[in-house]
Amino acid sequence: MERRNFLMSMVAAATLAPQEVRAALHRPSIRYLRPPGSLAEEDFLATCINCGQCSEVCPNRCINYFGFENGLKSLDTPYIIPREKGCILCMKCGDVCPTGAIKKVERTAEAIIENVKMGHARVDEQLCLSFQGKTCGVCYRACPLQDVAIKVGRLEQPHVQESCVGCGLCERSCIQMPQAIRVIPDYG
Amino acid sequence: MADKRPAFLVRRHLNKLRWVSLTLVFAMLILLPYLHIYQSFEAAHAYDLLAQSEKRIFDVMETLTAPFTDDPEEDLDFIKGTTWSGTFWGFKLSDPLAAAGQAAAGLNLHWPFLITALIPVLLTALLGRFYCGWICPATFIYELNSNFASWLRWAGIKTGNRQFDKRIKYAVLVMGILLSGVTGSVLVAGVYPPAILGRELYYAIALGGFGSGIIFFLATLLFDLLVARRGFCRYLCPGGALYSLIGRYRLLRIRRDVKTCNDCAKCDVACEFGLRPMSDGFGQECNNCTACIAACPTDALSFTLQPVDGPAQGPGHLGRHFRRAQTDANADTRTEVHGT
């Protein structure tokens, strides 16, 4: 009976909100970020020619390339796994990108906050040490936009602000396992 | 006795120059990932924290670049990328196939990118498929593979030499462009050996391992070895097809001088693309690689500037067929003279 209920609700969802169901079906199973300044996902896939220069210019070597794990369309396109290595927002990949799949963004805090939207960091207060009474503040110190993207409260509890660009350095630096702060990707 | 040493002809040695060019391009594709690794080590200011193997890379690259730069972290950004798309001192160059594929995938013309393919397109219009013979990093491997196949044949092992229709590659090009357009992703990059090879070399050196493309590339090597000599370039390569089309009315062509040709057919054997230089059969597939010029024992092949191939000229005047025809003609005239 429960399965039937579940199926019925699935059918209902499919008929009532096809848009959301389709989005759910296409949601990638891997949580990855695109390089800073990337176009919205569909445009990015149509524009990127898989030349590999963005990774080749990255001083932090945080950009890697998909095989078939994210679908045929993503083959050889760049991604960043923030827990492995975050983006240091040097903006060199946008300079070198020949097609404009990664936009040119000037390397100033204002321009970056304005144009870069890789994702948005979210704190899991159940996991975060500061929220559990043990002062930490590592993510705050790792953040390249301190006091703009993350503000700290009592016991250095991180509060992510609207201007977070999702570079992932906080997630990379989190000393909790699993990480208490993670970047929720924004694919445009 | 008169000095019999033949005159020094530059064109006879162009084939060696071509190998130098191919080797340089391939060496750059290997060097660039190492330079990038070195740059990232420089950026991290952490020499003491490097592993022994990383220190070795650092030291070698430092020795190589020290005469040219004081600030490797920034200065070495001057050259990036592969033959698919690259940046040289801020100047960007791209493969015409990348431009075509991207225009199809995005269904729009993104001029800042298309402009980067302009110089290759112009050069191809003038020089034909020179990219395939002189620059393509896959050609470097494919020609070595082709030489390997001739060693195998010498050792008595059979290798493939099947012939297909050369027009198949135009179908591959059209399909690749269409599929790129339909899926909205530059899929044609996934079946184009130079793009694959450039990427995969970078993955292998800088990102810790080959990606999936290398399997495709190895498959093309096996295809060349077991099914058809240079089969991928001749029959399947979408980039080669595009270059052939752009270079159809190229200005620089190879021409046979019928008076000095002796019909030895060495050029026909030397041609990697299965063309027939001895019967003036060049066409749009010729990539001006000059292998036939280097092979010609009588220097009958040379360059010419013409937008179309000349007409077929018949057997070479130093050859058996032509001389026999000549003697027969002479004999005929003699009998005629006797008859009167």
Residues B106 and B155 in one domain: yes
- Could you tell me if A26 lies within 8 Å of chain B, comparing CB atoms? no
Provide the β-strand partners of residue A102. A38
Q: Which amino acid is at A32?
A: Y
Whether A15 is in a domain gets the answer: no
A residues 115..174 contacting B (CB < 8 A): none
Per the CB < 8 A criterion, the answer to whether A138 and A155 are in contact is no
Q: What is the torsional sign of CA A34, A35, A36, A41?
A: negative
Token pair recorded at residue B329:
């003609």
Per the CB < 8 A criterion, the answer to whether B284 and B248 are in contact is yes
Mutation target vs A (from B36, B41, B94, B185; most A CBs, 10 A cutoff): B185
* Tens digit of each residue's pLDDT (9 = 90 or more) over A47-95: 999 999 999 999 999 999 998 888 888 899 999 999 999 999 999 999 9
Q: Is the CB of A74 less than 8 angstroms away from the CB of B185?
A: yes
Closest CA to B54 of B71, B41, B73, B45: B41
Residues B146 and B51 in one domain: no
Residues B161 and B145 in one domain: yes
pLDDT at B340: 47
Q: Domain tally for chain B?
A: 3
Residues B236 and B280 in one domain: no
Does B5 or B167 have the greater pLDDT score?
B167
Whether B12 is in a domain gets the answer: no
Q: Which of B81, B113, B132 is the last residue of a domain?
A: B81
* Tens digit of each residue's pLDDT (9 = 90 or more) over A136-148: 999 999 999 999 9
First to last CA, chain B: 45
Whether A6 is in a domain gets the answer: no
- Could you tell me if B191 lies within 8 Å of chain A, comparing CB atoms? no
Q: Tell the burial category of B266 from Cβ atoms under 10 Å away from its Cβ (0-12, 13-18, 19+).
A: middle
Residues B306 and B171 in one domain: no
Model confidence at B117, pLDDT cuts 50, 70, 90, reads very high
Tokens 């498929």 correspond to B129
* HEC secondary structure over chain B: CCCCCCCCCHHHHHHHHHHHHHHHHHHHHHHHHHHHHHHHHHHHCCHHHCCHHHHHHHHHHHHHHCCCCCCHHHHHHHEEECCCEEEECCEEEECHHHHHHHHHHHCCCCHHHHHHHHHHHHHHHHHCCHHHHHCCHHHHHHHHHHHHHHHHHHCCCCCCCCCCCCCHHHHHHHHHHHHHHHHCCCHHHHHCHHHHHHHHHHHHHHCCCCCCHHHHHHHHHHHHHHCCCCHHHHHHCHHHHHHHHHCCCCCEEEEECCCCCCCCCHHHHHCCCCCEHHHCECHHHCCCCCHHHHHCCCCCEEEEECCCCCCCCCCCCCCHHHHHHHHHHHHHHHHHHHHC
Q: Domain tally for chain A?
A: 1
Token pair recorded at residue A170:
């906080």
Residues B49 and B87 in one domain: no
Whether B7 is in a domain gets the answer: no
Mutation target vs B (from A56, A68, A88; most B CBs, 10 A cutoff): A56
- State chain A's maximal CA–CA distance in angstroms: 58
Residues B99 and B67 in one domain: no
Whether A120 is in a domain gets the answer: yes
Whether B277 is in a domain gets the answer: yes
* Tens digit of each residue's pLDDT (9 = 90 or more) over B105-116: 988 888 889 999
pLDDT at B176: 93
Residue of A nearest to B103 (CA): A47
* Tens digit of each residue's pLDDT (9 = 90 or more) over B60-71: 999 999 888 888
Closest CA to A93 of A49, A142, A40, A38: A38
Residues B142 and B30 in one domain: no
Per the CB < 8 A criterion, the answer to whether B39 and B72 are in contact is yes
Give the up-direction half-sphere exposure of residue B127: CA atoms within 13 A in the CB hemisphere: 16
Token pair recorded at residue A159:
């509060």
Residues B169 and B60 in one domain: no
Q: Which residues of B touch A75 (CB under 8 A)?
A: 185, 187, 190, 212
Query: In this structure, which long-range contacts are made by residues B13-21, counting pairs with CB atoms below 8 Å and at least 24 apart in sequence?
Result: B13/B294, B14/B290, B14/B293, B14/B294, B15/B289, B15/B290, B15/B291, B15/B293, B15/B294, B16/B294, B18/B133, B18/B134, B18/B289, B18/B290, B21/B134, B21/B135
Whether A127 is in a domain gets the answer: yes
Per the CB < 8 A criterion, the answer to whether B221 and B142 are in contact is yes
Average pLDDT, chain A: 87
Residues B309 and B258 in one domain: yes
How many Å apart are CA A82 and CA A103, to the nearest integer? Answer: 20
- Could you tell me if A92 lies within 8 Å of chain B, comparing CB atoms? yes
Whether B63 is in a domain gets the answer: yes
Whether A21 is in a domain gets the answer: no
Tokens 């990015």 correspond to A44
Quote the domain boundaries for residue A80. 28-185
Question: Would the pLDDT of A165 be above 90?
Answer: yes
Whether A145 is in a domain gets the answer: yes
Residues B96 and B203 in one domain: yes
Q: Is the CB of A52 less than 8 angstroms away from the CB of B190?
A: no
Whether B230 is in a domain gets the answer: yes
Q: Which of B54, B81, B108 is the last residue of a domain?
A: B81
Q: Is the CB of A55 less than 8 angstroms away from the CB of B202?
A: yes
How many Å apart are CA A72 and CA B105, to the nearest integer? Answer: 14
Q: What is the ipTM of this complex?
A: 0.84
Domain of B306: which CATH number?
3.30.70
Mutation target vs B (from A44, A47, A51, A96; most B CBs, 10 A cutoff): A51
Residues B208 and B270 in one domain: no
Percent of chain A with pLDDT over 90: 73
- Could you tell me if B195 lies within 8 Å of chain A, comparing CB atoms? yes
Q: What is the torsional sign of CA B85, B86, B90, B96?
A: negative
Q: Which amino acid is at B316?
A: G
Q: Which amino acid is at B151?
A: W
Question: Range with the lowest mean pLDDT among A8-22, B144-158, B176-190?
Answer: A8-22
Q: Tell the burial category of B109 from Cβ atoms under 10 Å away from its Cβ (0-12, 13-18, 19+).
A: exposed
Token pair recorded at residue A154:
């009592």
Q: Which of B187, B217, B245 is the last residue of a domain?
A: B245
Quote the domain boundaries for residue B295. 251-328
CA A60 from chain centre, in angstroms, equals 16
